[in-house]
Structure 1
Amino acid sequence: MPRYLISFEKDAMDHIREEDFPEVTKAASAVCQEAEDAGVFVFSDGLSYDDGDVEHAVVAVDGMVTDGPYPESKELIGGIFVVDVPTREAALEWAAKVAVACRCAQDVRKFRGPAGV
């Protein structure tokens, strides 16, 4: 089955009040559990952009390493949810569940598949 990346931008959840985050976390965890129970869950996580976080780096083709985003980046990914589903429509259904849980719009993209295929 094809895999789909469901993601949202880094600042997409900035409108959520801090006291509401436990509820959002619980809702997002429930969607992950539902996907796992359905046998379509592959992976899900949020990306760290904490001040001083040096986990984000760009490695150029010449091997030069630069901390931070790629210079031409206009948007950064805030979180991802990967599902293995039979159709685009199924991926969109999961994206809708993630959007409700995370309280933000989701981008849906299909992976090409194994290299060389």
Structure 2
Amino acid sequence: MTKYLISFPSAAMDVPEGELQAVADAAHAVVQEAKDAGVWVFGGGIDESIPPVVVHGDGTVQEGTYPQTAQLEGGYSVLELPSYEAALEWAAKIAVACRCAQEVRAFQYDPAS
């Protein structure tokens, strides 16, 4: 089976303040459904209050990010699924719960892991 990253940037969620709890409840219900189905691997949101750093091989820590990932934030789910079509189905469930479109990417298979 393949692991899929299903994600969205923070800016994609345009939910009125009074509806945040309903979105959280819906998202938690989808997470529980994925756990019950045995496809949940990991998920969560990036803590945007902690600034990112880049750590080099010599241990040097540099504030900031790679230029291509300056906007890495939002919510992420990793699911292990039998097909790309199944990933699209789960992404649709998450999109409904979070009220925003989801991006789907497949992890490359690594036989050593």
Fold-level match, TM-score > 0.5? yes
> What does 1:1-117 correspond to in 2, within 5 Å?
1-13=1-13, 15-50=14-49, 53-54=50-51, 56-61=52-57, 63-73=59-69, 75-114=71-110
Extract unaligned runs of 5+ from structure 1: none
Q: Structure 1 residue 17: deviation in Å?
A: 1.4
Q: As a proportion of its length, which structure holds more helix?
A: 2
CA RMSD of aligned residues (A): 1.9
* Alpha-carbon distance in 1 for matches of 2:74, 2:18: 19
Q: Structure 1 residue 84: deviation in Å?
A: 0.7
Q: Give the number of aligned pairs.
A: 113
TM-score of the pair, normalised by structure 2:
0.88
Amino acid of the residue matched to residue 8 of structure 2? F
Extract unaligned runs of 5+ from structure 2: none
What secondary structure, in the 3-state scheme, does the structure 2 residue paired with 1:96 have? Answer: helix
* Alpha-carbon distance in 2 for matches of 1:68, 1:115: 33
